[in-house]
Amino acid sequence: MKKSIELIEKIEGEAELHCAYGTDGRVVDAQIQFTSARNIEKILQGRDPKDALIINPRVCGICNHAHLIATVRALEACYKSVKISQKSQICREVTLSLELIQSHFKWFYLTIMPLLGFKPAIEKALKPSRIAAEAIAAFAGQYPHNSYAIAGGIVSDITPIELINAKERIEALKKLFKESLIDADPALFKECDKIETMLKHRGDMPLAMAKIIENGWQMMGKSEDRFIVFAEGAFKKGKSIGTRVSTNISTGHIKEESIKRSLAKRVLYKDRGYEVGPLARAMLMKTALIKESHRKYADSIFSRILARVCEIPQLIIYIESLLHRLDLSEESWIDPGEFPKRAVGAGVVEAARGSLVHKVEIEEGVIKEYNIITPTQWNLGSGDIEKPGIAQKALIGLKNSDPIELVLKSFDVCSVCTTH
């Protein structure tokens, strides 16, 4: 048995992938390890709960906004009841969705395209990210790292001018999507259920998908075929084993397990690993195109990549429908009253890479315990050969000549988030 160590950089932060190969040249075990940590959960202990709203976005520069919204939801869950105006609810959903969109663009162009042998198109990644960030800033002040959401609503009083600024940028994103990713109207993605129809369009997404098929990689990277989604909003909550959906899930069944030699922990739901992220979300929402892809190629890199890119038009439509309902005359913030001295709360959001869970325990008015469970922990947390993690399972069985890095990165690794 031969051991080899691959370093995976070019993700946010650094992680190591150790593959062990069998005599037939196939991966028999893959261990993913994360090599840096900041211990943010420890830093939060003993602090005023409101401090978490500023500290937590800094867990990750990539999905900082998801951390902010998860925090505010966890804090709101500590109250007996909190009323939030529809306006602040909409603003939070819009900024969160914008963060997802820009992350999907970046991941596709900076991570996936180069691995498929295409020239890195930095500007195609940077431009939509910049525009989406500006749209977020119109609501929230700046991006990355803002703290505009607080228990009871948001701090900003959006004016029609800021709204126009944001809408203009959302239009621009729509245009960029058509220009660079796929020359099709976002509405098409609502009903289209033929992969061939999709591939006939012009754009980098069909190019990439065709390349995967051309290389014969479309069945690679299959994992447990179990999916879980915790947050609603743009998506549907529930778990899906294969295509069998059940909506009755609770964050109470989530358990973290330490991993040997790594600073990250793996996560299980009722003792089983689940895949989180765009593919999981599409399975729960029964998105026609992705269901078709799943029927043909199962939970392979093909389905995973397609699902993530196809979330962009879905989110754009979602944002547009939200903004249509936005009433600026509503209150931004409704006083939730004194923060409870003793409470527990959990907040969930769907971040770009999947479900993000924050759990907080308050005692004597300060944070006693804070627990952050990130999407990468669900997908990348390693187990042992009997009970491998999601990405681990996808890697086992691959040959050295197979696109090992692509399979791993189809989950999108975020090490800063994972070790926090």
Partner 1 sequence: MDRRDALAKMFGAKGVRVNTNRGDEYYDSLRKKIEKRLSELRNSPAASKVDIEKVLDAEGLSRRDFMKWASATCAMLMLPASFTPLVAEAAELINRVPIVWLELQDCAGNTEAILRSDSPTIDELILETINFEFNETLMVAAGHQAEEHLDEVIEKFAGNFICVVEGSIPVGAGKEWCTIGAKGETFEEHLLRVAQNSAAVVAVGTCATFGGVPAASPNPTGAVGVQDIIKGKPIINIPACPANPANITGTILHYVMTGQVPELDYLNRPKFAFGYRIHDNCERRAHFDAGEFVEEWGDEGAENNFCLYKVGCKGPMTFNNCSIVRYNSGTNWPIGAGHGCIGCSEPDFWDKYAYERPMADANIKAPTGGVEKTVDEFGLGLLTAAGIGIAIHAFASAAAGKKEEV
Residues 212-251 that bind partner 1 (CB under 8 A): none
Q: Angle at the Cα of 362 (from 361 to 367), degrees rounded to 5?
A: 90
Of residues 320 and 405, the one with the C-beta less far from partner 1: 405
Name the pairing type of β-strands 153-154 and 226-229.
unpaired
* Closer residue to partner 1, CB minimum distance, 63 or 182: 63
Give the span between the Cα atoms of 238 and 109, in whole angstroms.
30
**Distance between CA atoms of residues 334 and 7, nearest Å:** 49
Site for partner 1 in 98-137 (CB under 8 A): 102, 106, 110, 114, 120, 122-123, 125-126, 129-130, 133-134, 136-137
- Least distance (Å) between residue 142 CB and partner 1: 4
Phi, psi of 52 (to 5 degrees): -60, -25
x/- letters, 259..298, toward partner 1 (CB under 8 A) = ----x-----------------------------------
Choice from 280, 360, 390, 416 touching partner 1 (CB under 8 A): 416
For the chain, the distance separating the N- and C-terminal CA atoms, rounded to the nearest angstrom, is: 34
Position 222, amino acid: K
* CB of 114 vs partner 1, minimal distance in Å: 6
Comparing CB distances to partner 1, the nearer of 4 and 243 is 4
Nearer to partner 1, 6 or 185 (CB): 6
State the DSSP code for 194: -
Segment 146 to 185, residues that bind partner 1, using CB under 8 A: 146-148, 150, 152-153, 155-157, 162, 165
Stretch that binds partner 1, among 52-60, 191-199, 271-279, 280-288 (CB under 8 A): 52-60
Q: Which of 308, 290, 125, 108 is nearest to 208 (CA)?
A: 108
Q: Which residues contact 126 (CB under 8 A, 6 or more apart)?
A: none
Residue among 29, 31, 32, 64 that touches partner 1 (CB under 8 A): 64
**Binders of partner 1: how many residues, by CB under 8 A?**
72
SS3 67: helix
Which residue type does 318 have?
A: Y
Q: Which of residues 26-45 bind partner 1 (CB under 8 A)?
A: 35-40, 42-43
Closest contact distance (angstroms) between CB of 169 and partner 1 is: 9
Residues between 313 and 332 with contacts to partner 1, criterion CB under 8 A:
331-332
Q: Which amino acid is at 339?
A: F
Q: Which CB, 146 or 293, lies closer to partner 1?
A: 146
Tell me whether residue 48 or residue 232 sits nearer to partner 1 (CB atom): 48
Is the Cβ of residue 129 or residue 223 nearer to partner 1 in the bound state?
Answer: 129
- Which is nearer to partner 1, 327 or 386 (by Cβ)? 327
CA distance 138 to 326: 15
DSSP 19-48: EEE-TTSBEEEEEEEE-----HHHHHTTS-
What gap in Å lies between CA 44 and CA 40, rounded to an integer?
6
Q: Cβ 414 to partner 1, closest distance in Å? A: 9
Collapsing DSSP states into helix, strand and coil, what is residue 231? coil
Among 20, 28, 51, 366, binds partner 1 (CB under 8 A): 51
> Does the footprint of partner 1 cover residue 48 (CB under 8 A)?
yes
Shortest Cβ distance from residue 71 to partner 1 (Å)? 11
**Binders in 395-414 for partner 1, by CB under 8 A:** 405
**Beta-strand pair 149-150/343-351:** unpaired
* Residue 245, H or E segment: strand 244-246
Cβ 53 to partner 1 shortest distance, Å: 6
Backbone angle region of 208, left / alpha / beta, with phi > 0 → left and psi within -120 to 50 → alpha: alpha
Q: Is the four-CA dihedral 51, 67, 74, 146 of positive or negative sign? A: positive
Residue 367 CB, nearest approach to partner 1 (Å): 12
Q: Which is nearer to partner 1, 111 or 287 (CB)?
A: 111
Q: Which amino acid is at 126?
A: L
Token reading at 49 = 């709960």
| Closest separation in Å from C-beta 144 to partner 1 | 5
Contact present, 189 and 288 (Cβ < 8 Å) = no
Chain residues 333-362 in contact with partner 1, contact rule CB under 8 A: 333-335
- Name beta bridge partners: 18: 5, 31
Based on CB atoms, which residue is closest to partner 1, 152 or 273?
152
- Residue among 155 and 188 whose Cβ is closer to partner 1: 155
